[in-house]
Every structure is written in structure tokens, then in C-alpha cells.
Amino acid sequence: MNLDYRLMSEYELLSLSLQESPDSSVVKQIVSKINSIQDILELTIQELEQIEGMDGGVAEQFLAAMMLAKKIYSAPPKQNIAFISPASVAAHYMPQMRYLDREIFKCVYLNRKNHLICEETIAVGGLYGALIHPREVFKPAITRSACSIIGLHNHPSGDPSPSREDIELTKSLVEVGKIMGIDFLDHIIIGDSIYCSLREQNQM
């Protein structure tokens, strides 16, 4: 059974992390020690070991999970990477893609403000166009609630001129995006210190 953890309450998540039922004695004892769910992060190993029915190993494992949560909770926010133009996308990916000896097709997924949510490598190797299905391109966008997508691939020859297959693939992804309500904004080809944007070239 697949659980949607995003829809679970804090105390349901607490009981699941302890492998206990929400009305178990262990969960009730932990709840009795806190005033708010945030207080769980401050529980000590001594307090956990005093809970009747909690195994010492479970207490250590639970404390380690809480310490990890505390580190995540207090970590500085991630740097927002915003792509405001084809040039900004190319500048970001040029160093990592210009010297590759085989073609890599990847997609970057953006929110409404064109901030990067994530990136995914969709295909590796030559003749990638025949291997790419729109579901591989759009599935991460749906999973991560992205508003738009930019595709990128490199030409190991250093010449970023688009092939007929590049153009056909791009047009098909644009059409699928229209149906799904997710904009396929551009397809950028990385060469050696030079790039080609199919949107700037009016090829999509």
C-alpha cells in the first residue's frame, strides 16, 4: 500500500516512524512529554529510554532521525537559481556539458518564477531522439509540480546547430506541454563555448 505522507498528521508520522499505532502507549508517552510537535527535536536519549515499551535501539534510531530533522530545519535556505534567458541557462550548463564525449539530453524543471526546482538526465548516447518519450520528460514535472521545462543537450562536435531530429523532438514536446498545461520553454544545444536556442532561432 502506498501512503501519501504529505497528507498525514504530525502524530501519524510520529507513530509511523516508531512503527507503533497512533494510540499506542509509546506514542502517548512521547506526546505527554511535549507541548508542541517541535519539542520532539529536543528530547534526549535519557528521556526516550525512560519510556516504557521503547527498546534502546529504537530510541537511538529515533533520536538520530530527530537530529537529522533538526539539522535540516536549521539549515540555510538553498540558493535560488533563476533562468531568465537562454544565455543564463547556457552559462550555467556550459562548463559541465561542453566537453562530454557523447550526447546527453537533460531537462531542467522550473517554478512560476523560473527558479530551478530540479534537473533530470533523460537520455544518454547518440540517436537520443528515438529513445525519448514525452512521459520521461514530463513525469518529473508532474511529480515536482513544475510550471515549465527547458531541454538541453550537447553536441560533442562543438557545433550546436540543430539537426532535423532536434527540431522535430522539440516541436513534439511543445505540443505535449500544451496538452498538459506545462510549458516546454526552450531546447538549448550546447557546443564548444557556443550554444543554440531553438526558441531564439524560431524553430519551435
Residue 81 lies in a domain: no
Q: What is the pLDDT of residue 78?
A: 63
Distance CA(179)–CA(177), nearest Å, equals 5
Residue 56 lies in a domain: yes
Q: What is the pLDDT of residue 174?
A: 97
Same domain, 68 and 110: no
Note whether 161 and 167 are within 8 A (CB): no
Give bridge partners of residue 169 from the DSSP assignment: none
If one counts the domains in the chain, the total is 2
Q: What is the pLDDT of residue 97?
A: 93
3-state secondary structure of 72: helix
Length reported for the chain: 204
Same domain, 96 and 70: no
Pairing of strands 104-110, 116-124: antiparallel
Q: pLDDT of the chain along its 204 residues, tens only?
A: 566 777 778 778 888 888 888 788 888 888 888 888 778 888 888 888 888 888 778 888 888 888 888 787 776 666 688 999 999 999 999 999 998 888 999 999 999 999 999 999 999 886 565 578 999 999 999 999 999 999 999 999 999 999 999 999 999 999 999 999 999 999 999 999 999 999 999 999
Distance CA(27)–CA(34), nearest Å, equals 11
Q: What is the pLDDT of residue 127?
A: 55
Domain holding 158, by residue range, is 86-197
User: Residue 162 gets which letter from DSSP?
Assistant: P
Query: What's 147's domain CATH number?
Result: 3.40.140.10
**Going by C-beta distance under 8 Å and a sequence separation of 6 or more, which residues neighbour residue 81?**
92, 115, 116
| pTM for this prediction | 0.66
User: Residue 49 gets which letter from DSSP?
Assistant: H
Distance CA(173)–CA(138), nearest Å, equals 9
Q: What is the pLDDT of residue 106?
A: 95
Same domain, 38 and 65: yes
Task: Report residue 164: phi and psi, to 5°.
Answer: -60, -40
Residue 204 lies in a domain: no
Q: Which string of DSSP letters, residue by residue, matches 78-139?
A: PPPPB--SHHHHHHHHHHHHTT-SS-EEEEEEE-TT-BEEEEEEEEESSSGGGG--HHHHHH
Same domain, 20 and 91: no
Same domain, 68 and 95: no
Question: Of the residues 40, 74, 108, which one is the last residue of a structural domain?
Answer: 74
Q: What is the pLDDT of residue 76?
A: 64
Same domain, 188 and 95: yes
Note whether 115 and 81 are within 8 A (CB): yes
Distance CA(174)–CA(169), nearest Å, equals 9
